[in-house]
Chain A
């Protein structure tokens, strides 16, 4: 077991997959000579050369389309979009081509690309650099959307995503690249479908993903020590397709549910998970399911306002206590 940072785990996955298969290459802005804004490709340019570690111009839709075209020939691109805010510009190619090409060609062509991109609200990056876009990607049929909460997941998901024949969007978080965690020494492939019980409990289910899993963990600690509420935490590491079974199993056990998301509530993960709970296990509920989400605004620059816009562990605690009538 190695205790490494998120970026080191992602870098290791790149390195192993590029060694394993000469048709794996990566492309993105500043990923080569610079080594990546978040160091996820550090040293790979020197090791694999400019044909396989490609510094692209700032042309998100263009280079994403190039990656997709290359993938038609069985080549495996890992495309880094420096910030998820820039991924808006590549949506045409991701949605109109990658997500649909197998379907509209009657199964003849597929686009086995990986797009990695960090989103989330970091420190005072302002409205145009603080988007949380996972809900947009998960609304499109034909894409897989995964989002790691730990270095182990980040490592294993990227490895599986490179080999999977579907286009996979990996939603990372700008604040998590230096977070440490245990990653197995041996090669490990994380599933791209499902969810996992991050903390076992009996009184309430907290459903989170990516950074919000950590808020749930902090909240569970407070709930346990201060309020004797034993929370179960479901890590929804796959946002599309969502793990209906995993959600239902936990909620049917605890009979209460709170979904925690960093994004705005409109048409989001919380709304979708709530719909699943209502469809699948409404009569198991002791209280209406609730969600803890961001305020429905762009993200402000001012730090006090920024913190007020997005949820935190205390908000989760408050929401849970309300469900318990305390």
Chain B
């Protein structure tokens, strides 16, 4: 947890720098494993967007608050509390994975950490998040549900349907829009009549803000306010974070649709490098310290995380027909009567 009133202490910044760097290295290692064909299917990487998930969730209570997102879900899952090696094993399709190899990259789940899943239909989690919030309310809980989705999801009907009902019933849900400017390969101004996503939410009388998603301090401060609003029972909130993904939409994307000049501009706004330089300038860290941290992370990913995934067994064939329907559910037979 960070400091009060949405301010990050120096220690928080150092910790978050490390978490962001870990997320970056983890995702880049996934890239390599995908190229080596160790990871299959579709793989959507989060590189460049780290400050969004890590900044928002640091302002909430991961593990207690419910988190739900799309298919770009690894970093959210790790921050919620899923062991990165178990997550990597899932990407490898191994039985030791968080979903026993049944989910894959787009379907990361960790219900023990209240990470309610990665979903692969764009916009699908909007109503699910409102429903989780309805469940919290019915059970009298103090938790909130945080739903992370990209800007392009807002062009689905579920966005409008869910925001309407979330406000109508004042459900404790925080919608975080990670606006990375592209819906797969189509730039936002070519797909969306209103480019500023936070403005669209006014139609549902939901308070909203747009902030720089590349600065974790800004994200943290905005998220602190947003989380407070939702937790206090005032209903939903919509937080738009302006961000950029360094890779294509997925690994099957040549990423040729984005001008190099645009990539260079966003490259200069890198959340990790900027926070690192800030800490170095303030005399809180040296470049050598940073490199040491990086080396430790790389070593940990190789020797603990990737090794665990590599060494883990395949799921047994009996898994194929497991989990389709509930096993031995007495009510299927009409209960005890």
Binding site for B on A (CB under 8 A): 23, 25, 51-52, 54, 56-57, 59, 61-75, 92-93, 96-97, 101-110, 141-142, 144, 156, 160-161, 163-166, 187-193, 241
Contact = CB atoms under 8 A, between A and B. Distances in A.
Given A73-B132, A166-B325, A166-B329, 19 more contacts: A23-B138, A62-B157, A63-B127, A65-B128, A70-B132, A70-B135, A71-B135, A72-B131, A93-B127, A104-B102, A106-B98, A106-B100, A108-B109, A144-B325, A166-B332, A189-B337, A191-B334, A193-B333, A241-B325
Contact of B162 (A62, A74, A105, A188): A62
B332 A191 contact: yes
Nearest to A163: B331
Contacts of A163: 331, 335
Contacts of A57: 161, 164-165, 168
Interface stretch (B55-63, B116-124, B174-182, B213-221): B116-124
B99 interface: yes
B334 A104 contact: no
Given A66-B130, A164-B329, A75 B139 contact: yes
24 contacts: A25-B138, A51-B137, A59-B165, A61-B127, A68-B127, A69-B116, A69-B132, A70-B131, A70-B138, A73-B135, A74-B139, A102-B323, A102-B324, A104-B109, A105-B102, A105-B103, A105-B107, A108-B99, A108-B110, A109-B117, A110-B326, A163-B331, A164-B331, A166-B329
Contacts of A56: 165
Contacts of A189: 331, 334-335, 337
Contacts of B130: 62, 65-66, 69
B335 A104 contact: no
B323 A107 contact: yes
A28 B129 CA distance: 18
B158 A65 contact: yes
Contacts of A25: 138
A48 B153 CA distance: 35
Contact of A70 (B99, B117, B119, B134): B134
Contacts, number: 181
Among B129, B139, B325, B326, the most chain A Cβ lie within 10 Å of the Cβ of B325
B227 interface: no
Contacts of A192: 331-332, 334
B27 to A, nearest CB: 21
Contacts of A59: 157, 161, 164-165
A68 B109 CA distance: 16
Contacts of B331: 160-161, 163-165, 189, 192
A66 B165 contact: yes
Interface residues of B, number: 52
B271 to A, nearest CB: 30
A75 B124 CA distance: 20
A54 B134 CA distance: 11
B292 to A, nearest CB: 37
A15 to B, nearest CB: 18
Contact of B111 (A109, A142, A144, A187): A109
B43 to A, nearest CB: 16
A20 to B, nearest CB: 12
A103 B326 CA distance: 10
B63 to A, nearest CB: 15
Interface of B: 68, 97-104, 107, 109-111, 116-117, 119, 121, 124, 126-139, 157-158, 161-162, 164-165, 168-169, 322-326, 329, 331-335, 337
Given A57-B161, A163-B335, A93 B135 contact: no
A69 B332 contact: no
Contact of B326 (A62, A75, A164): A164
Query: Which one of B110, B116, B133, B322 has the greatest number of beta carbons of chain A within 10 Å?
Result: B116
Q: Specify which of B99, B168, B331 lies most central, judged by the most chain A CB atoms within 10 Å of its CB.
A: B331
A69 B127 CA distance: 7
Given A57-B168, A189-B331, A193-B333, A65 B162 contact: yes
A139 B141 CA distance: 37
A104 B131 contact: no
B134 to A, nearest CB: 5
A141 B126 CA distance: 24
Nearest to B143: A73
A59 B161 CA distance: 6
Contacts of B169: 54
Residue among A51, A57, A66, A241 with max Cβ neighbours from chain B (10 Å): A66
B97 to A, nearest CB: 7
Contacts of B335: 160, 163, 189
A66 B124 CA distance: 11
Contacts of B337: 187-189
Contact of B131 (A66, A103, A241): A66
A99 B169 CA distance: 26
Contacts of B157: 59, 61-62
Closest 9 CB pairs of A and B: A69-B131, A65-B127, A62-B161, A73-B135, A106-B99, A106-B100, A69-B128, A59-B161, A105-B109
A61 B158 contact: yes
Most buried by A among B68, B135, B329: B135
